Amino acid sequence: MTCTQSTSVKRRRHIHSRCFVNIFHILRGAMNLTAKSHSVPLSDGNSVPLMGLGTYGDPRTTPKGTAYESVKLAIDVGYRHFDGALVYFNEHEVGQAIREKIADGTVKREDIYYCGKLWCTYHPPAMVRPALEKTLKTLQLDYVDLYIIELPIAFKPGDVFYPKDENGKYIYHDADLCATWEALEACKDAGLVKSLGVSNFNRRQLELILKKPGLKHRPVSNQVECHPYFTQPKLLEYCRQNGIVIVGYSPLGTSRDASWVNLKCPPMLEDEVLVDIGRKYNKNSAQVALRFNVQRGVVVIPKSFTGQRIDENFQIFDFSLTDEEMKAIEGLNKNIRFVELLMWSDHPEYPFHDDY
């Protein structure tokens, strides 16, 4: 797909670029990120908490009620940002936990930041709003704060999330990302979502949206894998130049699930550089890895259903890494992608063939 761009659009893009380069350069050097001020601005005037809780759990093995209990605990700890998806099969639990903490006066709705996702079977424009409304109905909330395209690849449209043919091969669909984006813009205009973003998009796919003629709402974020072994320097800089916040999933590496994780990758949290830096601050390697990302303006959404880890992961706003320590952690980059999604690598829009 090709896109043309008017002079006025180019001028607006230049203004966005200058503004957000300044914001991110200030943030990158900031040492005053505290639990009370741990948010970053978005290009649409909203803001997103730097620390969030990922809520994915394999529905085949995760006991019912796990997400519910974890979200309630996380709110008590201080989390306000929750990352979920219809395809996680637990949005009803997440929504119940949020509503109960609102009802008991712990938080107000405007204190909570919820990110939902458009799954690969709902890319056709006519299916976008119904998919979002399904998430809202499941959560029993009036709006979500951020709604993102979960992957740039599209599957056969419908409610079968992983459609396959008689030979067990995934059934793909030829979707127009720009048309999908226009349907999302209509959802924002209708008040169903505050901000729009994407996930697992490479530079080329981001540019499809950014250069789309008549673009009304820019993507504010790109959720991608990001951690000390995969620091994403090129994509991070490109997004900074375009006012797009990186949200890092698997910021602690990831689980050792052979069904979708590259087990050849070394366990990151055992790295001596992270361990040694942690000793200096009386922190563990996970806290150091999380602090590294938030200190350079990357939002992190570590997933945990363990109370102690939920609490520990949040305790990263009472210390700062030095410039030397930041450089040492940046030097750990091995371009290791734990989440490769190789089962979809033959899709025309598989995002990870490109350099970034």
Among candidate residues 68, 88, 113, 122, the one labeled active-site is: 88
CA dist 117 and 151 (Å) reads 9
The DSSP symbol for 54 reads: E
**Among 236, 254, 252, which residue's Cα sits nearest to residue 244?**
236
- Backbone region of residue 250 per phi and psi (left: phi > 0; alpha: psi in -120 to 50; beta: other values): left
> Is the dihedral angle over the CA atoms 27, 33, 35, 36 positive or is it negative?
negative
- Is residue 88 flagged as an active site residue? yes
Residue type, 203: R
H helices of the chain, in order, are 7-28, 66-77, 91-103, 125-139, 177-189, 203-210, 233-241, 272-281, 285-295, 307-314, 323-330
For the chain, give the number of residues.
356
Number of Cβ within 10 Å of residue 32's Cβ equals: 7
Tell me which H or E stretch contains 247. Answer: strand 245-249
Residue 223: closest CA among 137, 118, 295, 134: 118
Number of Cβ atoms within 10 Å of the Cβ of 84: 28
- Catalytic site positions: 88
